[in-house]
Amino acid sequence: MKHALVIGGSGMLAEAVLWLAEVGYHVSIIGRDAEKMSRLTEQAPARLSEVLVDNRDDLRLKEALRRSIADYGDFDLVVAWIHSDAADALPSVLSVLRGARTCSMFSGAAPTQEM
């Protein structure tokens, strides 16, 4: 099964999360709001994984990403909605992905790029 990471998935990207699950991805969702996250993951519990972490906390974000990769495999797709107050979040994600297989990444914080 393909594995997607969606940062900000319990908010503006919730519909994208559900669509990815519908088309066959297992989706690891980074978010801060436990209540929103629970409401979202209840809609497709077999395909959605909660990753409750504040993406402004670089160390915890990296740990959470590594756990998600260990549990579900490398990411095939990354979709990121990162607020400007989390300036180090995207570099943290990229540092964890370095050396992984190629994946597509779409982000409002940086131009789309392939790694």
Domains parsed from the chain with CATH numbers: 3-114 (3.40.50.720)
Q: Which comes out higher in pLDDT, residue 98 or 2?
A: 2
Query: 29-75, pLDDT tens digit by residue?
Result: 999 999 999 999 999 999 999 999 988 889 999 999 999 999 999 99
CB 3 within 8 A of CB 75: yes
> Do the beta carbons of residue 11 and residue 36 sit within 8 Å?
yes
Contact by Cβ (8 Å): 72, 28: yes
User: What local confidence, expressed as pLDDT, does residue 87 receive?
Assistant: 74
